[in-house]
Structure formats: C-alpha cells, structure tokens
Structure 1
Amino acid sequence: MLFVLVSFRSESIHVISHYSVEVKTLSSSQLRRIYSMRQLRWSNNEPIVVFVLPSQHAVHKTFSKETLHIFPYQLDRIWNKLTFSGLGVAPRIVQSQAELLQAVSTTPGAIGYVEVMDKEKQHVNVINVTE
C-alpha cells in the first residue's frame, strides 16, 4: 500500500499593503519578522503598521499556520510579551476582513491579510509571499 502526503499552501489568503508601500514580494520569514514585530520599518524607512484579525478568527488561524508557519497562540505570546514588558506594541486588531481592508487602504505603511478581495474596488497592493 502506498500513501502520498501532499502539502499545499492556501492561495486564498492575500497579504496586502497600503498602495504607498513599494515592496511587491516578501519571503515567509520576512513576513514572520514583520508579524512578530521584529521588523518595524520598510526598506524606505517608513514605519510598518500591522493589522490583524482577532486570534480566534478562522482567517487569522489560516494565515498564521499556512503563511507565517507559526501557531496563533505563539503570536499572541510574542505580542503580549512586547506589550507587557513595554518594549513594543502589538499589532492593531480589527474585527472583520472589511474593516482590515479599509484600515490598510487608508493607513500609510500598513500591512494586513484578507481571504477574499475584489482587487478592482480596493486601493491596496497585493504582496507575493515566497517560501
């Protein structure tokens, strides 16, 4: 008997940024640095403003596991440690994908993620994520 294990990355999650962000491609490790709040500025020295959905949100869980390759509770621990130690701030939490899309499109330097997006109606960049 032969078993084949297939692993695939969800292509349904789109990493998006404010239209002023010039970055078009990020590796998953670069993205993990941004979301763990270790990279705070874009290459042009513009501050990165990170937006996320609540930890319990299905899209957040999928993004964390499949794109960042880290569990949501691990991100929460990193953010809590930064916040409670006074060494940094946690990302800005929004309640829905529509709110996240709106926040990213109106905040210079912003980054976020959404599952479904009508590109023609939004003023954001889609960032290609590589392994």
Structure 2
Amino acid sequence: MALLLLAQIASGDSGRVELIAHPEVGAQLLTRDTTRAIFAMRQRTWPDGQAVRVFVLANEHEDHVRFVKERLAVYPHQLQLAWDRVVFSGTGQAPTRVTSPTEMRERVATTPGSLGYLATEHLDERVQVITME
C-alpha cells in the first residue's frame, strides 16, 4: 500500500479519488458497471455473498463529485435519484453518509463488507484500494 501511495504521489496522481474497501473484502477488482450498481444500491452483496455497506460523502463534497463523475461516469444528482427511488419504493436504503474523509476512512476500515472512496492523500494501510476496470 505504501508503495502504491508513493507511486501515485510521484506521478502527480495524489488528487485522484480511489475506490476503497474494508481490508477483509475479498474482491480486489470491480468493473465500472458493478461499482455503479453497488453505489446505486441495486447490488447489495459482494461476489462471495457478504453484504456490502456503502459509505458516501455529502453530494456537494469535492471528493464525492469527482468520484461520481470520474469513476462512475454519472452526475451526483443522478445517483441521488437512484437512492431516492430505492428508499421511496421501500426496496432498499440509501448509503450511509459520512461528514469527512477522515470519518470515511475510519468507517470503511472498521465496518466489515464496507465500500467507499477517498482521495489518495487520505489513504492509509487500514483500508484496501479496489481496482476499477
């Protein structure tokens, strides 16, 4: 993990927002479609059957906007509409909102099955980076 961080910083990629998961999550690679389905709350389990617990920052947070636009290829308001649909239809729950990147890192690091995102400058060894293809 430390080498990954050093490589990203050296390459000028320190502002990138990475997909992160609890360290015991078995999946280390997700497609964009799968990631989008998880964040839209349409897919609720990991491939091994473990429940996914999704954490997000506020819709206006710079890291949320960058992650949603650059990594999921949708707009924040589109994701919010997906959450509203599952909540109002009674078919699911919205993701858990956190107030800061620090809280995001702590919650993902300590919640089994969790998934979130962080700018590279907030990463540490307590969470794993998930590669998106």
Flag whether TM exceeds 0.5 (same fold): yes
- 2:131 alignment partner, one of 124, 128, 131: 128
Secondary structure of the structure 1 residue equivalent to 2:65:
helix
Corresponding residue number in structure 2 for 1:92:
96
Q: How does 1:1-131 map to 2 (within 5 A)?
A: 12-115=16-119, 116-119=121-124, 122-130=125-133
Return the structure number with greater helix share.
2
The list of structure 1 runs, each at least 4 consecutive aligned residues, that deviate by more than 3 angstroms after superposition, is: none
- Alpha carbons 2:38, 2:44 under 8 Å: kept: yes
Gaps of 5+ in 2: 1-13
- Alpha carbons 2:63, 2:118 under 8 Å: kept: yes
Deviation digits for residues 62-100 of structure 1, max 9, x if unmatched? 100000000000000110111112111000000100000
Q: CA RMSD in A?
A: 1.6
Q: TM (normalized to structure 1)?
A: 0.86
The CA distance in 2 between the partners of 1:16 and 1:52, in whole Å, is 11
Secondary structure of the structure 2 residue equivalent to 1:14:
strand
Q: TM (normalized to structure 2)?
A: 0.85
Gaps of 5+ in 1: 1-9
Number of paired residues?
A: 120
